[in-house]
Amino acid sequence: MNPRVLGLVLSIVGIGIAVATGIASVTIPEVRCFLKLECKVDKPYNFRLLVVTEESKALEGVEVFFIPSDIPPIIERTNSDGYVKTTLPKKGDIEVKLSKDGYETLTRTINLDIEERTRTFRLKKVVVSPTPPSDGTSPPVPPEKKCERTKGNYTLEEYYGEILVNRTFKKPDKRLKISTTNPYSVVCKIITNTGSLNFIYAIPDDSQLKKVKVSLYLDGKLSKSVEVNRGSLVPLSVDSRNISNYSMDYTVEDDETNPDGYLYMFTTSN
């Protein structure tokens, strides 16, 4: 190719690249602002939230889920004064969910464009009352058992809140605090045998725990083991016909650190 023609072609290509770069630059909000063109840059927004009871008393330890539309949820907990502070990437509408043991879960959508730096929410206590079946018959009798803890410093406790598992809210009914140095074991005598044992386990997305191994023994013999990973729901079911005793071992499997946290349970037959 003629050197003059080649030089002309390269010049045209260079000009095209420069023009394209300039167009792309002025579409970036920061560049448009620098050039004093019309611009809008989202600025981080400091936000504070107060959670109280119906009697206006501060609630500590409330899990607060900030759920923007375009980024993963931000999870915080209220302090001893009932406050929680966070920095959100921008203003606009955002969904907020509040959860605490013994209280009703509250979900609200708030508009951060309204200049109100502190929002107050009230949580109602859970009122547990038995609901009779619609057909008028007696409610089913749950399996009867007697259990005794054989290892661990904590006990299985009732739980009335919600947890976030794989970006989905779930409502377990029990939870167990556990750590690498504090495993948990329980032995149960079956008094009324319904023929099966069914459990569902979960570790929340924001837990320090990465993995917990659950082993189920029937009359002293290992029947089944499952691994529960963070952010997952794991079922465990076995046939318990002709079985008089069962035991459960819960062990945190993490050799690098010594995390502690809660393993949550959804009990369907116990």
pLDDT tens sequence across 12-43: 545 555 544 554 444 555 555 555 555 555 67
**CA nearest 268: which of 176, 196, 217?**
196
Instruction: Label residue 222 by pLDDT band (50, 70, 90).
Output: very high
So what's the pLDDT on residue 145? 77
- Domain segments of the chain: what residues? 45-123, 145-267
Quick one: average pLDDT of 122-133? 66
So what's the pLDDT on residue 155? 74
Q: Which residues pair with 190 in a beta bridge?
A: 145
By the 8 A CB rule, do 153 and 234 touch? no
So what's the pLDDT on residue 90? 72
Angstrom distance (rounded) from CA 156 to CA 265: 10
Pick the CATH number of 145-267 from 3.50.50.60, 2.60.120.1060, 3.40.640.10, 3.30.450.20: 2.60.120.1060
Quickly name the fold that domain 45-123 has.
Immunoglobulin-like (2.60.40)
Query: Does the model's pTM come out above 0.75?
Result: no
